[in-house]
Copies of this chain bind each other. A is one copy, B any other.
Amino acid sequence: MAGTDSSREDLAAAAGPAIVLVEPQLGENIGACARAMLNCGLTDLRLVRPRDGWPNPKAEAMASGATAVLERARVYDTTAEACADLSYVLATTARTRDMKKPALTPRAAAGELRARIGSGQGTGVLFGPERAGLVNEDVTLADAVLSVPLNPAFSSLNLAQAVLLIGYEWYQAGDATPASALMDESSPPATVATREFFLARLEALLEEAGFFYPEHIGPTMKRNLRTLFTRAGMSDQEVQTLHGVLRALSEGPRRRTRTD
């Protein structure tokens, strides 16, 4: 399972936790959940007693193209039946219950799910109905609970947003995107020699123009200029552009001075 590549090529084969919606009320929310799932490469949607029956045309309208997830969705009478083939189940819950059960953050849960799926276990995440959340009986069935740390004064999420955040962490845990990179790598970074040649020319022109005055501040100003241009991580092409800038600025006014 190699993250992005497998999910690009064959979503059906991409193993991930089942998303189990218990007694979802609005078809629109089921559709929005399907979209959020597919955003995160998840395709195994299970519905326990959806209030308005199944299939539900309102779900399709909100799925924004994630119809493959809806078509593959399965409907069950009980949460236990929906989880029968799973051996590690997480219950999402906003509030603390009076149960001695492990409570995970979405990030920790993503690591745990990846590890268990990697060793061949079926896994799933339970989400309760829109307003009430999961009943205690369903939470008891789960191996651990899962809560999203959010602003305690305003923490309520809609169903699809909760699915998105859990799915997002699942996806990140298997994704290899570098935390920081340059967007356009087409023009390679300039070598030190190229940079030095530019900086020396800049300094010579400024020297000629009387920029480094009084003389004792020269070394500090040169160091500051070098620090600025080095920090910018210039490409070859950008150094060429700056040579053009130097030419324009240094020759332009002179020519004007001559013709004036």
Interface, chain A (partner B; CB < 8 A): 4, 7-8, 11, 36, 38-41, 64-66, 96-105, 107-108, 145, 147-157, 160-161, 164-165, 168, 171-172, 175, 177-184, 186-187, 235, 238
Contact = CB atoms under 8 A, between A and B. Distances in A.
Q: Is the interface of A mostly helix, strand, loop or mixed?
A: loop
Contacts of A107: 172, 179
B184 A96 contact: yes
B152 A8 contact: yes
Contacts of A238: 100
30 contacts: A4-B149, A8-B151, A8-B153, A11-B151, A11-B153, A38-B151, A39-B151, A39-B156, A40-B150, A64-B156, A66-B154, A96-B183, A96-B184, A97-B183, A98-B184, A99-B184, A100-B235, A101-B182, A101-B184, A102-B182, A105-B172, A105-B177, A105-B179, A108-B179, A149-B177, A150-B171, A160-B161, A161-B161, A164-B165, A165-B168
A166 B156 CA distance: 17
A57 to B, nearest CB: 20
For the complex of A and B, list the 10 residue pairs with the smallest distance between their C-beta atoms, beginning with the closest: A108-B179, A149-B177, A103-B183, A41-B151, A38-B154, A149-B175, A100-B184, A39-B150, A108-B180, A7-B151
Contact of A39 (B98, B155, B181, B184): B155
Contacts of A172: 105, 107, 149
A175 B92 CA distance: 19
Contact of A100 (B145, B147, B165, B182): B182
Contacts of A235: 100
A145 to B, nearest CB: 6
A154 B39 contact: yes
Given A105-B179, A235-B100, A149 B164 contact: no
Contacts of A96: 183-184
Given A102-B182, A105-B177, A147-B177, 10 more contacts: A4-B149, A7-B151, A8-B151, A39-B150, A41-B150, A41-B151, A65-B154, A97-B184, A107-B179, A160-B161
Contact of A187 (B11, B100, B149, B177): B100
